[in-house]
Amino acid sequence: MQVIYFQVELAQKFFKDGRPFDLEGLKSCMRSAYTYIEGVEELLIDLKNNGYEMHTSTNYPIWYEIIEEKLKLSSYLSWTFCSCTMGTFFFPGLFRLLLSLL
């Protein structure tokens, strides 16, 4: 499975000097740390209720699902551009290209 391989490879190469890396600890920290900034969820609700189409992008591996599980962002917007599902990492020029497709 490519996602698992990527995570194992990341854990092995996270630090240039090869010291150990607590991958599960990082994901646990992400689960507990992600939260809405005051007023943002209400803003997303208002935008959606007023017919605005919203999209998001991420260079995260499959970990964007951690954010989705906690914040349920897909209730308000589309995870349109996820590098792990698109098969590429984003760079500034790619963002302009993706925006032109909307």
pLDDT tens digits for 35-49?
999 999 999 999 999
pLDDT tens digits, 3-52 = 555 677 777 777 888 788 888 898 899 899 999 999 999 999 999 999 99
Per-residue DSSP letters for 35-74?
Answer: -PPTTHHHHHHHHHHTT---EEEE--STTHHHHHHHH-GG
53 Cβ contact partners less than 8 Å away, ≥ 6 residues apart: 78, 102
Q: Is the pTM of the predicted complex or chain greater than 0.85? A: no
Domain extent at residue 79: 2-35+44-101
Number of domains in the chain: 1
